[in-house]
Amino acid sequence: MVKVLVAGFKGRMGNTTVQMVLEHADFELVAVYDPMASEKNLNENPAYAQTDVPVFNQLVDIDTKAEVWVDFTRPDSVFENAQYALQHGISPVIGTTGLQDDQVIQLQALAKQKGVGGLIAPNFGISAVLLMQFAQKAAQYLPDVEIIEMHHDNKLDAPSGTAINTAKMIAEVRQAHKQGHPEEKETLAGARGADYEGMRIHAVRLPGYVAHEQVLFGGKGEALTIRQDSFDRISFMSGVAVAIEKIRAYQELMVGLENLL
């Protein structure tokens, strides 16, 4: 049984993860953490009346035998949480997006120093992982590309971690170049979206959406659109489960679920 702590358990993804961990035959939920929690035990919550699991609402109070720390929190707390997990020999499985590149480098150095495996996955959905791989392949032949990501309107960071990761993977095979007309001008600021090595990234925020992405390629007289849709947060859970199962076999912090598939 893998002992699991879920950080951000009061949130949408954290709550879905708690349910998955409780239902999984090989996982044991040993602690949950969320600054918004006022209860001391999960069984105080009517939905988990039979579940005896300690609740923590401050990092300094956490006292646990957890082996894996699943993090679905906020862009401004994930770095501190991941540091805490690594320092305590707990393997972080990070779903929270918004970590900066220099923070990832610092965490990777800490993981190496401690010999602890960990994963940062901007997207745990298999359709998103495949979309990124297909997009990288397509960019070898069609280097003019724009990315449109669409999410629910409670998302804090933009563009999404998946969109940034898609752009990074494409940038590995595409020579950086500015797209569009060399003299193009925005008459409304932001009209052309964010710029990643000349690729444009557009972020849509609307109620009703969960997580969706399109990668549009244009060539002479042709176009290719690759699209993925996550309609339900349950779609991320098989990827989270794979990470929980496998991550303790590693001694480094990796980025991208594809490293474990």
Ligand X SMILES: NC(=O)c1ccc[n+]([C@@H]2O[C@H](COP(=O)([O-])OP(=O)(O)OC[C@H]3O[C@@H](n4cnc5c(N)ncnc54)[C@H](O)[C@@H]3O)[C@@H](O)[C@H]2O)c1
Feature table: binding site for NAD(+) = 8-13, 44, 95-97, 121-124
| 121 forms part of the interface with ligand X (CB under 6 A) | yes
CA distance 158 to 160: 5
Annotated active-site residue 88? The verdict is no
- Maximum Cα interatomic distance, the chain, rounded to a whole number of Å: 65
- With CB under 6 A as the contact rule, the residue among 13, 142, 203, 260 that binds ligand X is 13
Which CA distances in Å does 110 have to 18, 82, 83?
A: 27, 10, 8
What end-to-end distance do the CA atoms of the chain give, in Å?
A: 21
Q: Which is nearer to ligand X, 35 or 193 (CB)?
A: 35
Select which of 24, 155, 202, 212 is catalytic: 155
Under rule CB under 6 A, which residues in 24-43 are in contact with ligand X?
A: 33-36
Catalytic, 151? Answer yes
Q: Residue 133 CB: number of other CB atoms within 10 A? A: 15
Dist. CA 1–CA 146, nearest whole Å = 44
SS3 content of the chain, % helix, strand, coil (to 5): 35, 25, 40
Regarding 166 and contact with ligand X (CB under 6 A), the answer is: no
- Closer by beta carbon to ligand X, 128 or else 142: 128
Smallest gap from residue 168 Cβ to ligand X (A):
15
The only residue of 236, 241, 243, 247 in contact with ligand X, by rule CB under 6 A: 236
Residue ranges of the annotated binding site are: 8-13, 44, 95-97, 121-124, 152, 161-162
- Under rule CB under 6 A, residue 203 binds ligand X: no
The stretch among 73-81, 82-90, 135-143, 183-191 that binds ligand X (CB under 6 A) is 73-81
Among 30, 32, 73, 196, binds ligand X (CB under 6 A): 73
Residue labelled with tokens 């193009």: 184
Pair of tokens at residue 194: 């964010």
Torsion of the alpha carbons at 162, 250, 70 and 147, rounded to the nearest 10? 0
CB 118 within 8 A of CB 91: yes
CB 143 within 8 A of CB 174: yes
Catalytic residue among 24, 151, 202, 212: 151
Amino acid of residue 167:
A
List residues forming the annotated binding site for (S)-2,3,4,5-tetrahydrodipicolinate: 152, 161-162
Identity of the residue numbered 193: G
- Residue closest to ligand X (Cβ): 11
The catalytic residues are: 151, 155
Question: Which positions lie near ligand X, rule CB under 6 A?
Answer: 7-8, 10-14, 33-36, 72-75, 77, 81, 95-98, 121-125, 155, 211, 236
